[in-house]
A and B are shown apart, each in its own frame.
Chain A
Amino acid sequence: MFTATAFASILPEILILTIGLIILVCEPFWKGEQKRNAGWLTAGGLFAAMLLSLLLARPSEPQVVLGGMLRFDWLGFFFKMLFMFAAAVTALMMMDYEKIGKRGESYLLLLVSLIGMNLMASSADLVMLYLSIETTSIPLYVLSGFLLDDDLSVEAGFKYFIYGAMSSAMMLYGFSLVFGFAGTTDLYAVAATLTSGAISPWIAFGVATLIIVGLGFKISIVPFHFWAPDVYHGAPTPISGFLSTASKAAGFAVVMRLFFVAFPEFSAAWATTLAALAAISMTVGNFLALPQTNIKRLLAYSSISHAGYTLIGVVAFSQFGAASVIFYLAVYILTNLLAFGIAAAFRRAGGGDELSDYSGMSRRSPLLGLLALTAFLSLSGMPPFGGFVAKVVIFAAGIQADYLWLVIVGIINSIIGLYYYLNVLKFVYLYRTPNQDEENNPIPLTQPYKIALVILAVGVILIGTVFAPFFNWSNVGALRLF
């Protein structure tokens, strides 16, 4: 039962849990400034766990393990590595952030939610899928509302919980109907029993709608996006970054597995609906981002539009489409974490979240200005940064699947997006703070921020210039999905 393969398939989760337990044991013994060490431990431990998993626990042939609960394959493995990287970088950013950096439990909650995401990416059973989605969400509700003496954070946690609980209950109702009609909870067996002749298309459409509500909340596409700007705005900035990247990518991992594997018969019919959702998400996200003056709200709307771009790859419904989704998410995780990391570092150094606070940033801290340039140009899809290649492959997947209109909407939206991304850079590079000696008023960057931000920026440039190996890896992940 518990074979070597089963052990290898959950090795990353075992290591994450070990890190969490070490933190839980050690944290009470640390005093004051020492409590920061939990951040080093989390980040270092996660990088070590990634290395160990890459060396020892690589999947070979896809295999269903642990009583059919998990599928040990490359798709899950890639997403696991992405989530662990994102969590490690988030831990570095949390270290010096007021009120969450010196609390052991915040790192523990981050790790628990990371375990949930890892299981989401590899689950092959409806029961496991539901359990892992909730394991991801519940710690994130707490983390969003973690700053108990901050009105905005309390309200963000509260709203995230209400929206999250409602959408997960609707998704669960959809799962219960899938279980009823298919007679099994195994995702790979559902496809065999749930054929288009077996149930009426109306019921199939209803079930699909319920599931899309739940997953649409996770990946924050329009019209299930209302929570995103409020929660990203109120939550502690490193947590907003984690929510907008890893949590969204986990949602996409589930979307891909459900639509490509569990309901392939119906996916063609639903592709039109998903294409419409993608077009609406891109457009609404971009247009609502235009008037924003708060950097976190701007990034929230931008992340809604990015979910729309990513959905093009899902709609394409091909192996190339799946590979382009994985590649896009990898780039997006790097880029958006960088953008939120800059916002967190700047806020920590005494700046605000409003765009006008960013005036003269390039003179106060040339490094931070350069990093902001990397992040926002990559988000807007400029070469030589990762965002450009990612957009190219995702649009190519759309064209290959004959969704020309969707790709045109996407390209028009990229141009609209350019406006507000460049608007941020206008504040960073062109505007000056009035009556202030900027050179003598530098923005202090602590060690963990420097490490995290430089890793991310190097990653964004690397993935944009030497993209072939990265895209080949995403292709391997997509290859074994079907």
Chain B
Amino acid sequence: MIPLSWYLILAAALFCVGLFGMLTRRNVVAILFGIELMLNAVNINLVSFWRYGEITSMSGQVFTIIVFAVAAAEVSVGLALVISAYRRRNTIVADELDMLKW
């Protein structure tokens, strides 16, 4: 059986890729992709900890399903906000939404 640490390293790598993408991309849709990658890394973590831990308790799986649901809700609200920004300002590049500073 593949050791637990491999899954954890995969999850950590995925999380770092997501975080990197989120911090470096300027397009908002790409930033949302970054968030999704980070949440998927969390899901891999949760499921593998559950599989290698106390398998009779459901909490790891339930946690994963709840993360799915919340991620979907979050992204739908996020895309709605992106659309409202696009309608108003005609751009979805994060750097150009800069009326509020200082």
Chain A residues proximal to chain B, CB less than 8 Å? 126-127, 130-131, 134, 138, 141-142, 145, 148-149, 151-152, 154-159, 161-162, 165-166, 168-170, 172-173, 175-177, 179-180, 183-185, 229-230, 233-234, 297
Chain B residues proximal to chain A, CB less than 8 Å? 8, 15, 18-19, 22, 28, 31-32, 35, 38-39, 41-42, 45-46, 49, 53-54, 57, 59-60, 62-63, 66-67, 70, 73-74, 77-78, 80-82, 84-85, 87-89, 94, 97, 99-102
Select the residue from A165, A169, A297 with max chain B CB neighbours within 10 A: A169
| A183–B49 alpha-carbon span in the complex (Å) | 8
* 10 intermolecular pairs with C-beta atoms under 8 Å apart: A154-B84, A155-B99, A157-B81, A158-B28, A162-B31, A173-B15, A175-B42, A176-B46, A234-B100, A297-B102
Closest A residue to B69 using CB positions: A131
Q: A151-B99, A157-B84 are in contact. Are A179 and B46 (CB under 8 A)?
A: yes
| A142–B81 alpha-carbon span in the complex (Å) | 8
Q: A158-B82, A161-B78, A183-B53 are in contact. Are A173 and B45 (CB under 8 A)?
A: yes
CB-based contact A134/B77 at 8 Å = no
| A185–B54 alpha-carbon span in the complex (Å) | 12
Q: A126-B63, A155-B99 are in contact. Are A162 and B94 (CB under 8 A)?
A: yes
Q: Which residues of B contact A165 (CB under 8 A)?
A: 32, 35, 74, 78
Closest B residue to A174 using CB positions: B42
Interchain residue pairs A-B with the least CB separation, the first 4: A180-B49, A169-B38, A230-B100, A176-B45
CB-based contact A184/B59 at 8 Å = yes
| A138–B88 alpha-carbon span in the complex (Å) | 21
Q: Which residues of A contact B45 (CB under 8 A)?
A: 173, 176-177, 180
Select the residue from A148, A149, A154, A156 with max chain B CB neighbours within 10 A: A154
Least CB distance, B64 to chain A, in whole angstroms: 9
Least CB distance, B28 to chain A, in whole angstroms: 7
Q: A156-B100, A159-B100 are in contact. Are A134 and B63 (CB under 8 A)?
A: no
Least CB distance, B76 to chain A, in whole angstroms: 9
CB-based contact B15/A145 at 8 Å = no
Q: Which residues of B contact A157 (CB under 8 A)?
A: 81, 84
Q: Which residues of B contact A156 (CB under 8 A)?
A: 100
CB-based contact A152/B70 at 8 Å = no
Closest B residue to A125 using CB positions: B59
